[in-house]
Structure formats: C-alpha cells, structure tokens
Structure 1
Amino acid sequence: MWELGNYDRIAELIAGMGRDLVTAADVRPGQRVLDVAAGTGNAAIAAARASARVTALDVTPQLLDVGRRVAGELPIEWVEGDATKLPYADGEFDVVLSAVGAMFAADQEATARELVRVCRPGGLVAMANWTPDGGVGRFFGLLARYQDGPPPGPSPTRWGDPEQVRALFGGLPVETEHRVVEYGFTGTPAELAALYRSAFPPVIATRAALDGDDARAAFDRDLVGLLTAENEGPPGGPGRWRFAWLLVRVRVR
C-alpha cells in the first residue's frame, strides 16, 4: 500500500516529529542509531545531523529512494527490511527510533520484540506514535468506516495508548508523554483533503476499494468535514492543524 501516491508529500508536513523524537532520545555524536519503518527518513535525517551513525530501514524501497535524495550527502545507510524481522544482531544499536512508522507493522508484538532485541542493554527505544483519541485517530476511524469487513488486526493507534504500549513492551521500563505536532500546511480543509486523495496511501487505497462514484463522493465529503472540524485556524484562513502523538521511551535491560 505504501507504494501508492506520494507519501513523501505527507511526510514533509510532519518533519518536526522526527526532529523532536531525536531530541527526546538524546541522540549523540557517534551513537549507532536505527530508524525503523523510516519512510523518507524524518528521524534518520535528524539523527544524522546530530552526528550519529545512522541506518534507516523501511519495507518500501520507493520511500527509501526519496529519503536518499532528501538526505543528500548525509552519511545514512538506507536498507530495505521488515520491522517484524530486523536483519541485525542482538544489541547492535545504541538507540532505536521510529517516527509513526513501526506502529503500522502488521504484527505488533513481533515488532516490539524486534525493536528491543536490536538495542543494546542500557540503550533506548524511542517512538513517536499517533494516539487513538486525537485527530489522527479520528482520521483512521473515518477510513475504517469505509472499509469492508473487520480490521485485519489491532489498530495501529494501540501504540499511542500508554497502557497498551506498556503491554507491548512487556515489563520493560516505559516512559510516555503526550505531545502535539503542527502540520506544515496552511491551506483550506478542501485543499488538504485533495492532498490526501492524491498523496496519502491509506486514503488512496480506501477510495479505490469503494464501489462507485456515489460512495467515493460520500467519502470525500466526510474527509473534508473531518478536516474542517479539526482545523484550528481563524475563519477565512490560514488553516491550522495540530495532531496529538505519544512519545514513548523504553530503556532496554
């Protein structure tokens, strides 16, 4: 699915999350850092700018290609791989990051185990995850209403619930903190909806599966309605969207 559209255009709107995550993880020069489900590298690029030794891993090669272009001369290793089966030895990294990436892996328990496994004892796993009760949670709720059948597994926003994420990491010390990211977009709700329809893979996949023009028109109206309700900007613009996310820090034993 993540090969659809132009996810890099969406990733640009939340680039600040990657920088905030790297700061919260206290990434330092020379540390070995792995960015899991890196996408186009928001966290990986920020870590490389902090002079860490960075590897960015994602299952979608097209996103890695974009990340390489954006990173330019920054010394990042870009690797195609699955968050549920990381191709690294136990304890290979000082810091393991994921900025709204690993939360979308199909097997959540396996993903949590792998994030911890490749981090050295005393190291840190740090994640930025969308919350179930924030604007992005409501957005995914809208997508779910237009999808046939039961969801294939637990919601990705399980990673944004403090109690659920503690359960996923099974007894390790977990610190959580609620934060907010401001979207880098100031257009109208209709313009943001149009960007989602053209660029955001889950929206593209959901619309493509709908039966007929009437169903797609209804979805489009509901999407604009949701983005209108979430808009915190003044009447007449500019638009302002701020979405809640959960900072998760896990100290590995």
Structure 2
Amino acid sequence: MWELGNYARIADLITDLGRDLVNAAGVRPGQRVLDVATGTGNAAVPAARASARVTALDLCPELLDAGRRAAGDLPIEWVEGDATKLPYADGEFDVVLSAVGAMFAADQSATAAELVRVCRPGGLVALANWTPDGGVGRFFDLLGRYQAERPVGPPPTRWGDPEQVRALFDGRPVETEHRTLEYGFTGTPAELAALYRSSFPPVIATRAALDGDGARAAFDRDLVDLLAAENEGPPGGPGRWRFAWLLVRVRV
C-alpha cells in the first residue's frame, strides 16, 4: 500500500516529528542508530545531522529512494527490510528509533520484540506514535468506517496508548509523554483533503476499494468535514492543524 501515491509529500508535513524524536532520544555523535520503518527518513536525517552513525530501514524501496534524494550527502545507510524481522544481530545499535512507522507493521508483538532485540543492553528504543484519541486517531477511524474489510488485529494507534504500549514491551521500563505536532500545512481543509487523495497511501487505497462514485463522493465529503473540524485556524485561513502523539522511551 505504501507505494501508492506520493507519501514523501505527506512526510514533508511532519518533519518536526522526527527532529523532536531524535532530540528526545538524546542522540549523540558516534552512536549507532537504527531508524525502523523510516519512510523518507524523518528520524534518520536529524540523527545523521547529530553525527550519529545511522541506518534507515523500510519495506518500501520507493520511499527509501525518496529519502536518499532528500538526505543528499548525509552518511546514512538505506536498507530495505521488515520491521518484524530486522536483519541485524542482537544488541547491534545504541538507539533504535521509529517516527510513526513501526506502529503500522502487521505483527505488533513481533515488531516490539525486534526493536528491543537489536538494541544493546543499556540502550534506548524511542518511538513517536499517533494516539487513538487525537486527530490522527479520528482520521483512521474515518478510514475504517469506509473499509469493507477491517484489518485483523489491534489498530496501529494501539502504540499511542500508554497502557497498551507498555503491554507490548512486556514489563520493560517504559516512559511515555503526550506531545503535539504542529502540522506543516496552512491551506484550507478542502486543499488538505485533496492532498491526501492524491498522495496519502491509506486514503488512496480506501477510495479505490469503494464501490462507485457515490461512495467515493461521500467519503470525500466526510474527509473534508473531519479536517474542517480539526482545523484550529481562524475563519478565512490560514489553516492550522495540531496532532497529538505519544513519545515512548524503552530502556533496554
């Protein structure tokens, strides 16, 4: 699914999320850092700018190519791989990161175990996850109402619930902190909805599976209405969206 559209355009709107995650993880020069489900490198790039030795891993080669282009000359190793079966030895990294990436892996328990496994004893797993009760959670609820077949298993926003994410890491010391991201978009709700329809893979996949123009038109109206309700900007613009996320730090 993530090869649909142009996710890089959406990733550009949340670049502050990766920077904030890297800062919260205290990434230092020389550390070995793995960014899991990196997408276009929203956490890998600021980690490399902090002079860490960075590996960026994702399932989607198109996103990795976009990340390489955006990173320019930064010394990042870009690797195609699966968050549920990381191709690394136990304890290979000092810091393991994921900015709203690993939360979308199909097997949540396997992913959590792999994030911990490849982090050295005394290291840190640090995650930025969308919350179930924030604007992004409501967005995915809307997608779910229009999906004929609901995904099997818990939703990705399980990773944004403090109690549930503690359960995923099975007794390890977990620190959580609620934070807010200022979205990098100032257009109208209709313009943001149009961007999602053209570029955001889950929206493209949901619309493509709908039966007929009437169903797609209804989905489009509901998407604009949701984004209008979430808009905190003044009447007439500019638009302003702030989305809740959960910072998760797991001491290994």
TM-score (norm 1): 0.99
Could you tell me how far apart the structure 2 residues matched to 1:72 and 1:153 are?
A: 38
CA-to-aligned-CA distance 1:151-176 (integer Å, 9 cap, x gap) = 22210000000000000000100000
Question: Equivalent residues in 2 for 1:4-19 (5 A)?
Answer: 4-19=4-19
Structure 2 SS opposite 1:193 = helix
Structure 1 SS opposite 2:111 = helix
Which runs of no fewer than 5 residues in structure 1 stay unpaired? none
1:159 counterpart residue number: 159
Could you tell me how far apart the structure 1 residues matched to 2:129 and 2:114 are?
A: 17
1:26 counterpart residue number: 26
2:146 counterpart residue number: 146
Could you tell me how far apart the structure 2 residues matched to 1:183 and 1:199 are?
A: 16
Question: Equivalent residues in 2 for 1:44-193 (5 A)?
Answer: 44-193=44-193
CA-to-aligned-CA distance 1:8-48 (integer Å, 9 cap, x gap) = 00000000000000000000000000000000001000000
Count, aligned residues: 252
Of stretches 150-159 and 24-33 in structure 1, the one that deviates more from structure 2 is: 150-159
Could you tell me how far apart the structure 1 residues matched to 2:35 and 2:107 are?
A: 18
How big is the shift at 1:150?
3.2
Could you tell me how far apart the structure 2 residues matched to 1:150 and 1:184 are?
A: 30
2:39 counterpart residue number: 39
Which runs of no fewer than 5 residues in structure 2 stay unpaired? none
Could you tell me how far apart the structure 1 residues matched to 2:151 and 2:85 are?
A: 23
Structure 1 SS opposite 2:55 = strand
Structure 1 SS opposite 2:43 = helix
Tell me which amino acid in the other structure corresponds to 1:153: G
Structure 1 SS opposite 2:193 = helix
Could you tell me how far apart the structure 2 residues matched to 1:153 and 1:172 are?
A: 23
TM-score (norm 2): 1.00
Q: Say what the alpha-carbon RMSD is for the aligned residues.
A: 0.4
Structure 2 SS opposite 1:42 = coil
Could you tell me how far apart the structure 2 residues matched to 1:213 and 1:6 are?
A: 23
Find runs of 4+ consecutive structure 1 residues off by over 4 angstroms: none
Q: Percent of aligned positions with the same letter in both sequences?
A: 87
Tell me which amino acid in the other structure corresponds to 2:199: A
Tell me which amino acid in the other structure corresponds to 1:34: L
